[in-house]
A and B are shown apart, each in its own frame.
Chain A
Amino acid sequence: MAVISNGTTIADAGAFSASLGSMVLIKTITISSGTSTISFVDGASSVVFDNTYPLYKVTYSSVHHATDGSQLQIGFRDGSTDYDATIQSTSFTTYHQENDGESSSDRLNVSSGRVANSSSFQNLHQSVGNDNDQCASGEILIFSPSNTTFVKHYLSRLDSCHDSNANMDSFIGGYCNTTTAIDAIQFKSSSGNIDSGIFKLYGIKDS
């Protein structure tokens, strides 16, 4: 049965015809106690991470690490159970200490977060602090993860409380250097657990 209002078809054939928005929340994972990994796996726990959407976005809010000086990292899964897809990336940061004590050369820098054709996890920022009020928030965009012709690009921007009591704004761009589909992603801390935070996966429709 179709629903037609004022001559416009609102719904038909089991789906809405009218636009309900292009950015769809797929899954929220809320961390409230020490957790070693946070994973979004296609087909598991209501997660979609395939060619349903050409673009996926993950936001991370108020991510608090157990270990001072650790980094939030992402790994990509490309056909096995391991998050070890080869990645190639660039990274740069801005840095501003709360006491204005940073050197001018540290304020805008190509950072050590870049990765050269490695199967290691990608750092999304540097050395976050673990004071009670310190955390990190940001987002990553992942383009066409199920494409089997091209490499798969990602862009991340994340603002964090550096463990030297500074603001650090981190910019990461890179690609999974594989033509195998990426069907899952995993976040973890470079050292110790993630004690709290909110991770949200969205799909962006192409029509």
Chain B
Amino acid sequence: MGLISNGSTLFDSGSLDASVASGSMTHIKTLTASDSSTLSFVNGASSVVLDNTYKEYVFKFYDIHPSHSGTRFQFNGSVDTGSNYNATKQTSMFVAANIEADTDTSLSYQPGDDLGNSTGFQDLAGFGNANDDNDASLAGTLQLFDIANTTFVKHFIARTNYMTTGPYPVDTFTGGYFNTTSALDAFQFKFTSNNIAAGTIKLYGVK
């Protein structure tokens, strides 16, 4: 049965009419940390979709809080559905930072946080280690393009803001590519050591 309102078909045959402007960003999965060592999104598991259904995937980070100071928030990709998080990456990073006392500012490339064809985890926050003060956290976005493509490398861009020891707010820009022609089908987030005490990560697919 279709629905026609004021002469306009709104839906029919089990789907919205093509003339109806509908949203293109679909929420796929939310994971909430509770003193978690890792948070993982794996294609085909727990209702997660990470394949060629969408050409762009977006992760959003809310109130990511480390259990300990002296750590950095990181991510990695998998080409074997989460058995290993070790996809090769080539990346770059720069930051803008300003200490709360307003006595030190920085705009700089972060050679210690980029990866040169490495399988290691990629930092999503540079310049300094995360602060574990009660009100300290990280927020931001990670966009991944065409992850199921088996011809080309797969690019990503990220921007996060977090509180490091100092304390500084640090605006971190990370870009790079997974230097593989294998499809990526899982992603994992963690701190360099200890746990994610709290925080939420949401995954979206963009039509």
Contacts and interface: CB of A to CB of B under 8 A. Distances in A.
> Do the two chains bind?
yes
Contact of A169 (B4, B145, B173): B173
B176 interface: yes
B116 A96 contact: yes
A196 B151 CA distance: 11
B176 A13 contact: no
B59 interface: no
A138 B155 contact: yes
Interface string A107-122: 1100000000000000
Contacts of B24: 21, 23-25, 202
Nearest to A109: B109
Contacts of A161: 153, 177
B185 interface: no
B145 A24 contact: no
A169 B157 contact: yes
Interface in A1-50: 1-3, 11-16, 19-25
Nearest to A60: B145
Interface stretch (A75-83, A98-106, A143-151, A184-192): A98-106
Interface stretch (B5-13, B43-51, B97-105, B190-198): B5-13
A198 interface: yes
B56 interface: yes
A94 interface: yes
Contacts, number: 143
Contact of A61 (B16, B21, B90, B146): B146
Given A14-B6, A61-B146, A98 B23 contact: no
A100 B116 CA distance: 6
B177 A159 contact: yes
Given A21-B25, A107-B111, A198-B55, A135 B91 contact: no
Interface in A112-137: 132-137
A95 B114 CA distance: 10
Contacts of A108: 94, 107-109
User: 10 closest Cβ contacts across the A-B interface?
Assistant: A21-B23, A169-B175, A14-B6, A14-B8, A137-B145, A94-B92, A137-B155, A108-B109, A107-B109, A25-B24
